[in-house]
Chain A
Amino acid sequence: MSEVAIKATDLTKRFGDFTAVDHVSFEVNKGQIFGLLGPNGAGKSTAIRMLSTLSIPTEGSATVAGFDVQKEDGKVREHIGLVSEKMIMYDELTARENLTLFGKLYDIPRDALNKRIGKLLGFVRMEQWADHRIDTFSTGMKQRINVIRALVNQPEILFLDEPTLGLDPQSTAEIRELVRMINIEDRTTIILTTHMMTEADMLCDKIGIMDHGKIVALDTSAGLKRSISGNDTTLFEFEIANLDARILSSVKALASVSSVVQDDPTHIKVSSVGNDSFDTLVDVLRKNGAKIRTVKNLEPTLEDVFLHITGHEVRDEVAKAPTPAHRDGPPGMRPKKRVR
């Protein structure tokens, strides 16, 4: 029996002249948490809509749970759950009524359905709110119901489209924990879209980075980070009280240094190669009178990976068009100030 839960082959969606998803291909194995990572407008939600049969691909094909999303869409829908980024429920109905409605659309026996709804409400600590109308709930409460609504039928595959968007930190942590539990307990395959790098890093077994409709990188989180840092490259962050142009120049001039990024007036990130790179850097800095306050050995983040691959930062609004990949050293280590 195939271990592949989802297979997308050259999946494409066009709206007139605009290509929202451009020949995207990937596979997700059963029991994996797969992340589609990228900024708003990258095509993540459009890809999810095609895989969950809400939208018909313009080109390409996909199978979900072994069924073709176009020819066997009804079968696909029996095996999936979808949590949209929009925290939508039927406001006029109570939480229990919403869950019951969607449960009854599957052939779940009444007793089993009632028991399951009770368990799911208990899991998200919403039992006391079960018989209250949705329009009386806060955003976090709505999202908790939104997530468990998709679990009523115990789907094999769960699509989560920006599940923590707009939530407070506590609710965000709860949803992430719920996602982990769903995956661990029932080996539910999860496809998660997010523009939050930390979320993808935290949850996903495999990550596809999307930008302008294409998958530009596809690997595990560790693999993606290694792809930009290299096995012999180390990233250091220095806090230097008297950082100036002379000190910066001295660091950049080192042969072992591949890139330098100044975050703010006293912080620089230096990527350098070689086992002795740290000693060399400290020697040069001291020689130039630098007052080193702190030093950190940094692992590249997924944002660094995104920057490296696409040439621009992940923001809700893309400030400018992507710039050429190789300037001032390896791509991703751009000699400009960045605000985190």
Chain B
Amino acid sequence: MIHINETVSPAVRRSAYIAPSDASQIGIVVKYDFLKYLRSKRLVGMLAIVSLVLLLITALPPLLGNSYADDANEFIGTYASFTSILIIIGATLFAGDAIVSEFQNRTGYLLFPKPVKRWVLLAGKFLASMGAMFLVLLLYYGVALLLDLAITGSFSVLGVESLLLAMLYAVAALSVGFLISSIMKGITGAQILTFALFLFIFTILTGVLTMGGVEPWFVVTYSGGTIGYITQDPYPTSGTATGGAPEGMAPGGLTSSYFPDVGVAIAVMAAYALISLVLAYYIFSRREMSA
């Protein structure tokens, strides 16, 4: 007969195992959520999209008989102009269902009776999604900067600044995704709303405000436009757009007479990240498992 409790001395009080530190638990949640990204092929899928984008941007110009930009910053600017859409896809995949899946899939029955605080779960999941997103961005920019160096012979410092802004924008986008995930009842709805909010709703809002003569400085996608604009030297000022992709749209989109101030954009993105995460925690901590 197998004794299931041979590992514990009878002298040890039952339930002798208490919760480890919050930091330790965060690490555990990060590890296993990241593992889930890998196993569910989301991360692999995202890397495949990144690879495709890199391939298209790099291969198409010569195929069409065009030459690459000579200037290192202009070269990296082409790649930077597509970063926003990658971030939107990443936020949808890594954040859109992060919270709601525990309720819809009922895996909250596994996690929530454990001695793990809700903020610890949120922090662990958020850090895992950030890690996945940053991995994607680092790969994207890493390849782009290497190509830049190989083709133009120069290293673009503005390209690195673009990467840093992209990481901040990614944090903001993930945070909003987590907020949506904490509110919505279904995974599909949460992911669609996250995607639509960044790709359409914010963009439309920016466009309408711009046409109305109001600078949309408080719209996070407008701030995300700095990812592309920062590669332009000098940084564009209000007037005619010189290229790139305003407000995260693909090249060839609407021109704008407004260009986000970098300092203001950083503050706006940080504010979206902080406020969204705080609200996500507030809602998540009060949400109960239903039947």
Interface residues of A (CB under 8 A from B): 45-46, 49, 52-56, 65, 74, 77-82, 84, 86, 88-90, 92-93, 97, 101-102, 104-108, 112, 115-116, 119-120, 122-123, 133, 149, 151, 153-156, 159, 181-182, 185-188
The answer to whether B107 and A90 touch across the interface, beta carbons within 8 angstroms, is: yes
Which residues of B lie under 8 Å from residue A116 when comparing CB positions? 7-8
The answer to whether B39 and A53 touch across the interface, beta carbons within 8 angstroms, is: no
Which residues between 95 and 140 of chain B lie within 8 Å of chain A, taking CB atoms? 105-110, 112-117
Chain B residues bordering chain A, tally (CB within 8 A): 36
- How many inter-chain residue pairs (CB < 8 Å) link A and B? 124
A123 and B2 in contact, given A86-B109, A154-B14 (Cβ under 8 angstroms): yes
A105 to B26, CA, bound (A): 9
Residue B64 is within 8 A (CB to CB) of chain A in the complex? no
Say whether chain B's binding surface is mostly helix, strand, loop, or mixed.
Answer: loop
A56 to B32, CA, bound (A): 28
Which residues of B lie under 8 Å from residue A101 when comparing CB positions? 28, 32
The answer to whether B114 and A102 touch across the interface, beta carbons within 8 angstroms, is: yes
Which residues of B lie under 8 Å from residue A89 when comparing CB positions? 107, 110
Which residues of A lie under 8 Å from residue B105 when comparing CB positions? 88
Interface residues of B (CB under 8 A from A): 2-8, 14-20, 25, 28, 32, 35-36, 39-40, 105-110, 112-117, 288-289, 291
The answer to whether B106 and A88 touch across the interface, beta carbons within 8 angstroms, is: yes
A116 to B105, CA, bound (A): 27
The answer to whether A186 and B36 touch across the interface, beta carbons within 8 angstroms, is: no
The answer to whether B113 and A154 touch across the interface, beta carbons within 8 angstroms, is: no
Which residues of A lie under 8 Å from residue B289 when comparing CB positions? 49, 54-55
Closest residue to B28 on the A side, CB-wise?
Answer: A104
Distance in angstroms from A37 CB to nearest chain B CB is 18
A154 and B117 in contact, given A49-B289, A88-B106 (Cβ under 8 angstroms): no
A300 to B112, CA, bound (A): 40
A88 and B115 in contact, given A54-B289, A78-B15, A104-B28 (Cβ under 8 angstroms): no
A54 and B113 in contact, given A92-B35, A106-B17, A154-B15 (Cβ under 8 angstroms): yes
A-B contact pairs, 18 of them (CB 8 A): A54-B112, A54-B289, A78-B17, A78-B18, A78-B19, A80-B113, A82-B109, A84-B106, A88-B107, A93-B39, A106-B115, A112-B7, A115-B7, A119-B6, A133-B39, A153-B17, A154-B16, A186-B4
Which residues of B lie under 8 Å from residue A56 when comparing CB positions? 288
The answer to whether A107 and B19 touch across the interface, beta carbons within 8 angstroms, is: yes
The answer to whether B288 and A55 touch across the interface, beta carbons within 8 angstroms, is: yes
The answer to whether A154 and B19 touch across the interface, beta carbons within 8 angstroms, is: no
The answer to whether A120 and B106 touch across the interface, beta carbons within 8 angstroms, is: no
Which residues of B lie under 8 Å from residue A93 when comparing CB positions? 32, 35-36, 39
The answer to whether A149 and B39 touch across the interface, beta carbons within 8 angstroms, is: no
Which one of B15, B25, B32 contacts A79 once the chains associate, using CB atoms below 8 Å? B15
Which residues of A lie under 8 Å from residue B113 when comparing CB positions? 52-54, 77, 80-82, 159
The answer to whether B291 and A74 touch across the interface, beta carbons within 8 angstroms, is: no
A81 to B112, CA, bound (A): 11
* Additional 10 contacts, C-beta under 8 A, given A105-B115, A116-B7: A55-B289, A74-B117, A77-B116, A81-B113, A92-B40, A105-B25, A185-B5, A186-B4, A186-B14, A188-B14
Distance in angstroms from B273 CB to nearest chain A CB is 27
Distance in angstroms from B11 CB to nearest chain A CB is 13
The answer to whether B17 and A108 touch across the interface, beta carbons within 8 angstroms, is: yes
Distance in angstroms from B282 CB to nearest chain A CB is 15
Distance in angstroms from A316 CB to nearest chain B CB is 14
